[in-house]
């Protein structure tokens, strides 16, 4: 009798240990604490296995992980966050802005206003026109036109213009596809949210025409598809 009891305990122990060592692809999304802003280029480090990954432009990441591994998430100007993976799951992480000791000047400006101010700075240098050089400039100011095409400021202006367009587009998507809206309209589990948002995030080209009804309808339909994969 004791032999069988010992054998069963040993089998359960080995099974649990094997499951804990089994590697799976941990997926997650990183947000700034207190808002919906996603954090890109954050370092996601598996301390246990010495694996490192970076979050993409949408704040999402994936990393080989096993149950029991310690994951450290960090980025400059944010407080480091440590997670111990207790089970196979996908995670949502909120990073808190680090406290700054220097004097803070409060500005009553929106993000859009700040973006436009930066572009105005490029315009003041004569290098920005929505990323393009006017045709007449080639005729009347050929050297200026050439500088606009090849100069460092021109390249930075075009890159920043593309960045603004991308960020503003993703902000529109966030308004229609976010954690609160998903949880209020589906019976989704907290452990499923990160994976669902990662796999079913809609494109801006579609979302820009949505109203609230369209957003809720999309979330419900996509959640039904998601449930079929479980």
- Predicted confidence at residue 106, as pLDDT, reads 52
- Predicted confidence at residue 203, as pLDDT, reads 92
pLDDT at residue 136 is higher than 80:
no
Higher pLDDT, 18 or 170: 170
Higher pLDDT, 216 or 98: 216
Sheet of strand 91-95: strand arrangement: 60-66, 23-32, 91-95
What are the CB-based long-range contacts (under 8 Å, 24+) for 93-96?
A: 93/28, 93/29, 93/30, 93/31, 94/30, 94/31, 94/32, 94/33, 94/34, 95/30, 95/31, 95/32, 95/33, 95/39, 95/42, 96/32, 96/33, 96/34
- Predicted confidence at residue 156, as pLDDT, reads 56
Element (H, E) at 169: helix 152-176
Task: Collect all residues with Cβ–Cβ distance below 8 Å to 123 and sequence separation of at least 6.
Answer: 129
Instruction: Answer whether 0.85 is exceeded by the pTM.
Output: no
Per-residue pLDDT reduced to its tens digit, 21-60: 688 999 899 999 887 788 999 999 999 999 999 998 888 8
- Predicted confidence at residue 90, as pLDDT, reads 86
- Predicted confidence at residue 161, as pLDDT, reads 65
- Predicted confidence at residue 109, as pLDDT, reads 57
pLDDT at residue 146 is higher than 70:
no
Domain boundaries along the sequence of the chain: 24-95, 114-173, 177-228
- Predicted confidence at residue 220, as pLDDT, reads 95
- Predicted confidence at residue 54, as pLDDT, reads 92
Per-residue pLDDT reduced to its tens digit, 149-202: 445 555 555 665 666 677 778 888 888 999 999 999 999 998 888 889 888 999
For tokens 């587009």, name the residue: 169
CA–chain centroid gap for 191, Å, is 17
User: Burial letters for 73-96: b for 16+ Cβ neighbours within 10 Å, e otherwise?
Assistant: bebeebeebebebeeebbbbbebe
- Predicted confidence at residue 5, as pLDDT, reads 47
- Predicted confidence at residue 152, as pLDDT, reads 53
Per-residue pLDDT reduced to its tens digit, 63-115: 999 999 999 999 999 999 999 998 888 888 999 988 765 555 555 556 556 65
The radius of gyration computed from the CA coordinates of the chain, to the nearest angstrom, equals 24
Task: Collect all residues with Cβ–Cβ distance below 8 Å to 129 and sequence separation of at least 6.
Answer: 123, 148
- Predicted confidence at residue 33, as pLDDT, reads 87
Mean pLDDT score, 111-134? 53
Mean pLDDT score, 127-144? 44
**Secondary-structure class of domain 24-95 per CATH:** mainly beta
């Amino acid at each position: 009798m004791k032999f069988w009891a010992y054998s069963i305990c040993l089998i359960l122990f080995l099974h649990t240990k094997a499951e804990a060592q089994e590697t799976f692809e941990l997926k997650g999304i990183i947000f700034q604490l207190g808002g919906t802003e996603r954090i890109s280029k954050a370092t996601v480090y598996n301390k246990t296995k010495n694996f490192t990954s970076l979050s993409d432009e949408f704040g999402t990441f994936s990393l080989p992980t096993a149950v029991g591994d310690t994951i450290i998430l960090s980025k400059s100007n944010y407080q480091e966050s440590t997670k111990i993976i207790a089970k196979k799951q996908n995670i949502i992480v909120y990073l808190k802005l680090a406290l700054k000791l220097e004097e803070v000047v409060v500005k009553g400006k929106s993000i859009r206003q700040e973006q436009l101010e930066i572009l105005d700075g490029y315009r003041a240098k004569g290098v920005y026109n929505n990323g393009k050089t006017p045709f007449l400039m080639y005729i009347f100011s050929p050297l200026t036109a050439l500088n606009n095409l090849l100069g460092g400021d021109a390249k930075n202006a075009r890159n920043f213009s593309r960045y603004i367009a991308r960020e503003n587009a993703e902000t529109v998507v966030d308004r229609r596809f976010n954690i609160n809206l998903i949880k209020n309209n589906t019976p989704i589990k907290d452990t499923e949210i990160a994976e669902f948002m990662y796999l079913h995030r809609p494109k801006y080209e579609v979302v820009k025409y949505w109203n609230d009804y369209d957003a809720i309808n999309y979330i419900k339909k996509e959640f039904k598809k998601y449930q079929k994969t479980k």
